[in-house]
Chain A
């Protein structure tokens, strides 16, 4: 309802993160025991333009969820910069941060876990307004009706409790709650992943409608490549804490330059033409606590050479707006053009 900051020139990105790193300490550090650290996010940088949806895709443990929380400063980064609407988010005081949070919201995968079972849907949806001391009971009631309508719920739902709703409706409640403060930026963390496919489609359509209607900017985190393709404008692919490729959606899906992106895409049983042979890459994701040296993907990469085992490839620009971290991205490109993808 109230914009907290003056809007800068439209060409600056809404959100910009640079060299974001997050180290988790695992296990107890005790007598004669070595502290183990896991670098969950290791040098992640990206920009999010206003009104854009950036898809963040990767397998479990790749750091995509941590990246989402760091971007909102729900987790404190170990190092790195976060700039939201031209302001250095990490430099904000606690009270300024609280005010800034009105602009930045998150929707989680499990809506039931995110909703207090003892509060009515109406209470849940206006709770952010109460916490931020916005409006009075009358204006909140008005806003509640507005929000229920936005997410496709009826007025009478407000007096019910979360357990009375189906998974899809609960996610609508969470979305209404996230929208209560009129945010500009929403992190959707696997927001439709726990739902059945017919309900998932409803929620994805709703998120798209809301984005167009309210001019929202999304960081959309998912493991599902089909969902990512559908919802995103640009896509970042993560592997073991790093972005390995980032580009416009069409580039990532139709002309990927990283062997890992290729492997992900060929693993999807999306060829809807009956039985097929699967093209697989060998092995598991390595332990994030002890990532391999050099390129982190080299242990599973069909193209790996000596250089990959020694020198970590930097994220570099190949085409306009297409960045990739692979020593052999040119070869991937050539192979595709020669009609023989790896």
Chain B
């Protein structure tokens, strides 16, 4: 609870450093050379439409890809330890321990035949090497912390006895019971109604401030992500096309895809006569266009866009974008 001074020592390795992460399924590359860093306690959002590779990026961070998927990369450093080369046993220690996870569908992520206390307790016992009784105590405490009323009784209930919002709170309790340093949340509020979504986001905000966790939040919803995070990465067709402070993404986007996404969202606080839709559809991973992958749908596209892929280049402090507009329509060096 008490304010701790954030560790700023320069000798420390970065909290999370991802370099050139790629995910392949057979011959298809669904995540292509993603790089980013995360400071301790920082909240990063990853935004993209279906097929952008955002969820695969999240799963790759945990080395939890579905069968057939392979992760490659230069490094995936979590507090100085390269998770790309970590052994299975070590990964199992980290997952659910130092790195917590929340997924979109709490009903499918929870075991229907175990009480929620059993499920939270299982995580605690495994990672904290504690007994049944203490695990139960911790479960109740975690449920209380995430705002479940009457946790002493709720701990013995089954997932189907809870509402969707309550189930997501249980998922958060489970992710938090071991005191993770990093929380990966994949569409944590997408299945929820808007008033419940606001409750869950508020809870996650409070917990983040309390525990100073780093959070990576993955969502298709730009407004959810921007209201919650410090920094946002926009992904398209497996690549990062823009990365910027959350406020800048809205006020001064530098990639045409980000601009297009923003213009596509019907605003709730003002009237727009007509939405500016992005024409066409996201190309499938087996049929990617040459050069810039957004070029076929881009209103700014020039011939140069189809010959070379633009690199993710700095456009300002903390702001990167992969568009040749920002380099004066010069040929981008192919990455």
B residues in contact with A196, CB < 8 Å: 49-50, 220, 282
Evaluate contact between A197 and B194: CB separation under 8 angstroms.
no
Whether B59 is near chain A, meaning CB under 8 Å from some CB there, is no
Chain B residues within an 8 Å CB radius of A273: 247, 250-251
Contact A201 B264 (CB under 8 A): yes
Which residues 204-218 of A sit at the B interface, judged by CB distance below 8 A? 204-205, 208
C-alpha gap A224/B197 in the complex (Å): 12
Cβ–Cβ contact B226 & A265, under 8 A: no
Q: Which residues of A contact B266 (CB under 8 A)?
A: 201, 204, 224, 226-227, 229-231
Chain B residues with CB under 8 Å of A264's CB are 194-195
User: Given contacts A198-B260, A276-B227, A284-B166, is CB(A208)–CB(B199) below 8 Å?
Assistant: no
When the two chains form their complex, are residues A226 and B265 in contact, meaning their CB atoms are under 8 A apart? yes
Q: Are B272 and A272 in contact (CB under 8 A)?
A: no
Interface size class on chain B is: 35 or more
Judging by beta carbons under 8 Å apart, are B196 and A284 in contact? yes
Q: Mark B263-282, 1 if CB is under 8 A from A, else 0.
A: 11111110110111111011
Complexed CA–CA distance, A265 and B269 (Å): 9
- Inter-chain CA distance A223–B281, complex, in Å, is 24
Contacts of A230 in B (CB 8 A): 266-267, 271-272, 275
**Chain A proximity mask over B73-103: 1 for CB below 8 Å, otherwise 0:** 0000000000000000000000000000000
Given A197-B264, A269-B201, A278-B201, also A284-B163 (CB < 8 A): yes
Known contacts A59-B194, A230-B275, A269 near B165 by CB under 8 Å: no
Chain A: how many interface residues by the 8 Å CB criterion?
49
Residues of A within 8 A of B251 (CB): 273
> Does the CB pair B274–A197 fall under 8 Å?
no
B301 proximal to A (CB < 8 A) = no
Using CB atoms, name the residue of chain B closest to A266.
Answer: B198
Cα A263 to Cα B223 in complex, Å, equals 17
A116 to chain B, nearest CB (A): 23
Q: Are B277 and A198 in contact (CB under 8 A)?
A: yes
B230 located at the interface, meaning its Cβ lies under 8 Å from any Cβ of chain A in the complex: yes
Partner-B contacts on A (CB < 8 A): 59-60, 166, 168-169, 196-202, 204-205, 208, 223-227, 229-231, 249-250, 253, 263-282, 284-285, 300
Q: Which listed residue, B230, B245, B267, B279, touches A226 by the CB 8 Å rule?
A: B267
**B230 CB → nearest A CB, Å:** 7
Choose among A169, A201, A263 the residue that contacts B195 (Cβ–Cβ < 8 A).
Answer: A263
| A268-B198, A281-B195 known, 9 other contacts, Cβ within 8 Å | A169-B281, A198-B49, A199-B277, A201-B264, A226-B266, A229-B268, A230-B266, A270-B267, A275-B246
In the complex, whether B229 has a CB less than 8 A from a CB of chain A is yes
List CB contacts (< 8 Å) of B290-322 with chain A: none
Q: Which of the residues A201, A223, A267 comes within 8 Å of B276, measured between beta carbons?
A: A201
A296 to chain B, nearest CB (A): 14
The residue that A60 contacts in the complex, of B193, B264, B271, B281, with Cβ under 8 A, is B193
* B245 neighbours in A (Cβ, 8 Å): 274
A282 vs B205: C-alpha distance in the bound complex, in angstroms?
16
Residue from B194, B201, B250 with most neighbouring chain A CB atoms (10 Å): B194
A-B contact pairs, 6 of them (CB 8 A): A197-B49, A197-B264, A229-B267, A229-B271, A272-B226, A277-B202
Complex CA distance for A14 and B74, rounded to whole angstroms? 64
| In the assembled complex, B224 has its CB within 8 A of some CB on chain A | yes
Instruction: List B residues 34-51 near A (Cβ within 8 Å).
Output: 49-50
Closest Cβ of chain B to A10, distance in Å, is 25
B281–A168 touching, CB < 8 Å? yes
* A201-B278, A225-B194, A275-B227 as given contacts; A280 in contact with B268, CB under 8 Å: no
Q: List the A side residues contacting B49 at CB < 8 Å.
A: 196-198
